[in-house]
Structure 1
Amino acid sequence: MSESLGSGRPPAPEQKPTTALRRRLAELRGPATPARPLDARALAALAANPGCRRRALLDGAGVDKGALAEAIGSPSAAFGQSQFAFMRGNAFEAKVKGDGGTELLRLLHERMGKGAEPPGQALTPDLAAAGPEGRAARTALALREATEAGGWALLDHPMLALEVAGSPAYLEPDAVVVHPDGRWTVVEIKSFPMIDAAADPSKVGAAARQSAVYVLALERVAVLTKGASVDHSVLLVCPRDFSNLPTASVVDVRKQLAVTRRQLTRLSRIEDIADELPPGTTFDLDGQSGASLATAVEAVPAVYAPECLAACELAFHCRGRAREQGTVTALGRSLRGELGSLTTVEEVLAAARGESGDPADPTVAAVRRAAALRAEAGAPCH
């Protein structure tokens, strides 16, 4: 894992959506339907599948994808923690933050202290306020005050705000630590284990994408705070081996941060996606048949991958369509990347049989070689 890197260049100003765009998004989800708020998990899922125009548009418009999936007759993909895992995670987080966050601060100083004095009595400001907007304002004030004080501070479940396609997304990281030198570090506490100092790469990747969203939101506050900077590495705290004792690793989220920035830029231009829809397209659940809604959904291009099953309510619907069309993305992004210009299963099989494809194409040659080896392996012995 990499060390902390500092904040780098300040974030570019966000493009404010126009009134016309906000009106257009309201029409898409239904004028009487409140927008479904975006959270860090939804934004991280967008970053994980940046090519899916369908998810970008539906999330940007605040459409309830779970209700939409049910309305078009497709089961909504179930994902998230079980009740047992949720309770175990809460218990572990309470243990890590116990005694004023002593153990959490010790781990952070050990991994990311940069020669600073070990934390003694850290500030733990009260972040209570009315509603998410009030909590976000209170968090911004606490961050500024802690930075000016020049000591250690631990913000437990701060509230951060990020403007996404005209709607505020309120984000709640597990913790943010303010260093004596003015650095702000996101802390993510997860209940999956680190065994021999290594955790499940897929789970670490998901945590990194989610943490990158928090870092992006923090940058919006830091740019207005004198002497503040935001780490582009986060502290991931997990149980050590098979115990309930905490350990930590530093996770570099620069790559995930760059992808998230690009996705938010794309969301600020979702009017371009909406303009390509047939006239009258809407995802309003009131007064529309399932067939009409299905037609509206299919009007927006999607890029399905197996990873969508863990992050999107429409995953089963998109998987069914991908299988009907025979797209190789349904078999995984890595395979899709290996197959180059061969985008469907039928194209791959035709190339393997020698019925199509340029023999000089390395992908076609590799597929034909694989088919020949398979035929040899299945041939009877003489």
Structure 2
Amino acid sequence: MSSYPPDGPPQTTLRQRLADLRGPAVPPRPLDARALAALAANPGCGRRALLDGAGVDKTALAAALGSPAAFGQSQFAIVRGNSFEARVKGDGGAELLRLTHARLGGGAEPPGPDSRVPDLTAAGPEGRAARTALALREATAAGTWTLLDHPMLALEVAGTPAYLEPDAVVVHPDGRWTVVEIKSFPMIDGAADAAKVGAAARQAAVYVLALEQTAGKLEGARVGHQVLLVCPKDFSNLPTAALVDVRRERAVTRRQLERLTRVEELAEGLPQGLCFDPARPAAELTEAVSAVSAAYAPECLAACELAFHCRERARDAGEPAALGRSVRGELGGLTTVEAALAAAAGAGPCTGTDPDSDSDPTAAALREAARLRAEALASAAARPPYQAPETPECPC
């Protein structure tokens, strides 16, 4: 019988296995809130769960596979966002604390000279996460307005820790913690682009989940379900704020993250010697990536660096999911596009030997749709071509 402790050599073996997967000389790429939100949106994709858990740089991997990602922020947008964030947090975060009090004051005294901005510097993400937890504990006990600038939060995902860095967290005098998201897109007449606000809400929900793990260990601390979204007002560079309720996004993200297969379970089923080091030949990387199951959908194009590679493979395999999750769901037991076309033509294993058999309702619906389409095309071909009426000449 082994005498190893629960956190002994098995964990070391897993870490070594993950290091071998990404390449011995390749540093791990940390997970961020955007990656976790995208991962939660597609929890059935073992490929993304394994690569993110192992810290593989998917951008470099996609480029090595010949399908580079074609999305991401421009350098101009990054510079503009950093400049706006510095303006919001200037003067010791006075403007940011004022906006927080104006939207979420709840009768508390406005922030004054006693407001604090603790130093969160430490060595490594583990050290910064520990320093952040200590600062949250001290701020909650002190009962004063406190701004944590770029704190580091820890969240366990599929058995591996992820370190997250929100723009800011504000501690209220009553012990409440509020996540602050600072974005550079404008808020015109008090409203911002709905799609961008939704993306910010999904990202902030990950931070709320991470904060809840820390708040559960402290008496009197609680995490607010409303996030403060700070954006430029109208067409100026002046900051304004709005509240975004993230309870729905938090519940969905938590449920989806809990469904993720643990990384060690995914790694156990892989052949020995498998490696996703971008420096390896493209043919070897293609074989390695194909060894991990994927769940491609068109929505991946806006969230995953490997989406173009997975789309090409899904099209080659005739997977209906390449046309959308709704199409895949409607086809039921027809797992390929070829099977769906055969069913529409009255052939295939799901239609039975009788051409008029309705043994499979999906196949029967496809045959009926194909019949109606053929009738519509025949009727259109039988009609004489359209001729526009002659326009009388103008007497003038």
TM over 0.5, shorter chain: yes
Matches within 5 A, 1:1-382: 18-72=11-65, 74-121=66-113, 122-164=115-157, 168-262=161-255, 264-265=257-258, 269-277=262-270, 279-285=271-277, 288-355=280-347, 358=358, 361=361, 365=365, 368-369=368-369, 372=372, 376=376, 379-380=380-381, 381=383
Would you say the 8 A contact 2:61–2:278 is kept in 1? no
> Distance between the aligned counterparts of 1:367 and 1:214, measured in 2?
49
Would you say the 8 A contact 1:55–1:302 is kept in 2? yes
* Deviations, residues 4-52 of structure 1 (Å, cap 9, x unaligned): xxxxxxxxxxx99834433332333334543322222222221122111
Cα deviation, residue 86, structure 1:
0.9
In structure 2, what residue type is equivalent to 1:293?
Answer: L
SS at match of 1:236: strand
Would you say the 8 A contact 1:193–1:240 is kept in 2? yes
Gaps of 5+ in 2: 1-6, 352-357, 385-396
Would you say the 8 A contact 1:52–1:301 is kept in 2? yes
Gaps of 5+ in 1: 1-14
> Distance between the aligned counterparts of 1:367 and 1:61, measured in 2?
46
In structure 2, what residue type is equivalent to 1:138?
Answer: R
Cα deviation, residue 215, structure 1:
1.5
* 357-366 or 254-263: bigger deviation: 357-366
Would you say the 8 A contact 1:340–1:363 is kept in 2? no
In structure 1, what residue type is equivalent to 2:90?
Answer: G
Cα deviation, residue 59, structure 1:
1.2
Cα deviation, residue 174, structure 1:
0.7
SS at match of 1:177: strand
> Distance between the aligned counterparts of 1:281 and 1:203, measured in 2?
41
Task: Label 1:328 to 1:233 Cα distance change in 2 as closer, same or farther (>3 A).
Answer: farther
Cα deviation, residue 68, structure 1:
2.6
Cα deviation, residue 178, structure 1:
0.7
Q: How many percent identity over aligned positions?
A: 70
SS at match of 2:243: strand
In structure 2, what residue type is equivalent to 1:305?
Answer: A
> Distance between the aligned counterparts of 2:252 and 2:207, measured in 1?
13
In structure 1, what residue type is equivalent to 2:380?
Answer: A
> Distance between the aligned counterparts of 1:24 and 1:266, measured in 2?
22
Q: Which has the higher contact order (CA 8 A, sep 6+)?
A: 1
Task: Label 1:106 to 1:213 Cα distance change in 2 as closer, same or farther (>3 A).
Answer: same
SS at match of 2:228: strand
Task: Label 1:98 to 1:31 Cα distance change in 2 as closer, same or farther (>3 A).
Answer: closer
The structure number with the bigger radius of gyration is: 2
Partner of 2:387: none
In structure 1, what residue type is equivalent to 2:138?
Answer: E
Would you say the 8 A contact 1:240–1:247 is kept in 2? yes
> Distance between the aligned counterparts of 2:195 and 2:164, measured in 1?
22
Cα deviation, residue 259, structure 1:
4.3
Would you say the 8 A contact 1:71–1:285 is kept in 2? no
